[in-house]
Amino acid sequence: MSLSSAQTHACSHIASHRDELSAWTSTIFNYGETAWREYQSAAWYINILREHGFTVEEGSAGMPTAFCAQWQNGAGPVVGLYAEYDAVPGNCQAAVPRKEPRAGLNYPAGGHTDPHSALGMSGLAALLATKSAMQAHGISGGLRFTGEPAEKVRGSKPIHAAAGYYDGLAAMLSFHPFYMLPMCNTVRWDTHCGAAYSMIYRFTCDQPERWGPVNAVGNDAPIPQSHSAVRAPGANDALMSMYLSSKSLRDSMLPHQGGWSVSEAILTAGQATADNLPAALADIQYMIRVPEIAMAEQVTAVLDRNAAAAAAIAGCEWERHWVSKSRHGLANHVMAGLVWQNLQSVGAPHWDNTATAIAQEIQKNLGFAPMEKPFLPACTELISPTDAEALLRRDLPPSQLNSTSDDYTDMTWHTPTARFYIARPALQPAPEGPYPSWVMNALGGISETIDPMVQTAAKVLATSALRVLEDKSARLAAQDEFERRTGGGIGGEHWVAPLCDYEPPINFRWPEYIETTRGRGWCIPG
């Protein structure tokens, strides 16, 4: 299907701003801010959007690093796009072809892995190009652009969804750099991502004196809980009991029910002491990735029991605080087909000789023999949604309707949504062994290697947004399918309501950057 004049305009706009977009991508990459603490990144987006005529709500849905930008060109349908910009702790990598942290930082600091720096810039580039095309070609309608923090803990989208930020849209377009085969330069068809729950179990030992027998010998010591007295195990022991019991029961939580995973992270409390005092506070975070909500509820019930038992053993109280409760995804074939047509028109990304030389330098720096064609062949090839679906389903049981994890799924229950993938630069397997993780992180930050993905993804997003705005029949068909699959649209018989019944989890000890007399530093708050 040939592109309309407005779509061609948008593609030209993106290409003509390549250098500017490249510099912008590098800016967000170098911020490297992690979940719920993306202060510079969010402020940067807000400033750019206001400079380009968007009305921006800061701190949308009670999240300080979230936003919602809107622009209207007269009455008409509104299309949704978004940016993610959170990085991952422990992945600080400079945009260079060797292992090296960004200037002034160490490896434990944050860094972009997927990379969200390029994901968000693809969305912004498409947004500005679509706006330009709408103005130049007199296309009525509007654009909504949300800033989505904390995606790595599936943070903002369940909260935005519950607050209505995806309601009233004609369509939502969701892009992600490819992260697994066969999802490379394609669109999801039937098997969308599954549900996910994330929570923090907090153990507090505020009354350690109540742990032992009331009249036990030693309880009359002049200093309660003195060095030689029996003392409550405390919060650290509760946390370890929780950690170990959950590990040992993992096989009993969801045996033989399809793809699922439970992972945990111990959140540092910074309470080092040489004294004989029980730890007063300890947190452990869990992430549950499962195909269905019912499975997430099953796992949560087990973890709750483990937390109660661990607290009782160690003389603690326990609390569960939600980080995320995210729904599984809902397919829309009309939207998937629309995006696939535009992806075919735009084509797969390609890497030039300069990018090839950088990839070869990485291989050489690892002691590998440089390859003549270092990039994975799939990165420059398209695969149809139905072919990708068939390959994906090959390893899944027929009863499993969803697979892998991402929180775009919460958008799919509020408007017709397409989820597509464009290849990020990835190297072919080497006979010398696997590549360390810094390689992918570096390729996601070096302009010559990541810019082709940004250009391609932005063009697919922009042409798809314009197709929705220009083609009423496609728009209505997508909405009809949405209503059929939900049994009547939002609130319909088969519709799954938002699961978010919690406040944004912004006040926990999430790691962040701080400014010190020594410069910018990486901090795990106590």
Residue-by-residue DSSP string for 73-107: ESSS-EEEEEEE--BEET----SSSSS-PPTT--T
Distance from C-alpha of 330 to C-alpha of 195, rounded to nearest angstrom: 11
List of domains in the chain:
5-193+328-514 (3.40.630.10), 197-327 (3.30.70.360)
Give the integer Cα–Cα distance in Å for 381 and 187: 13
Report H helices in 231-271.
235-248, 250-253
Sequential pLDDT tens for the chain (526 residues): 789 999 999 999 999 999 999 999 999 999 999 999 999 999 999 999 999 999 999 999 999 999 999 999 999 999 999 999 999 999 999 999 999 999 989 999 999 999 999 999 999 999 999 999 999 999 999 999 999 999 999 999 999 999 999 999 999 999 999 989 999 999 999 999 999 999 999 999 888 878 876 555 555 555 555 566 677 888 989 999 999 999 888 877 776 666 788 888 888 765 655 566 778 889 999 999 999 999 999 999 999 999 999 999 999 999 999 999 999 999 999 999 999 999 999 999 999 999 999 999 999 999 999 999 999 999 999 999 999 999 999 988 888 999 888 999 999 999 999 999 999 999 999 999 999 999 999 999 999 999 999 999 999 999 999 999 999 999 999 999 999 999 999 999 999 999 999 999 999 989 999 988 888 888 887 6
Tokens of 6: 């407005």
Separation CA 318–CA 336 (nearest Å): 45
**CB of 499 within 8 A of CB of 158?**
yes
What is the reported pTM?
Answer: 0.94
Residue with tokens 């590098």: 26
SS3 518: coil
3-state secondary structure of 369: coil
CA–CA dist 508, 281 (Å, integer): 12
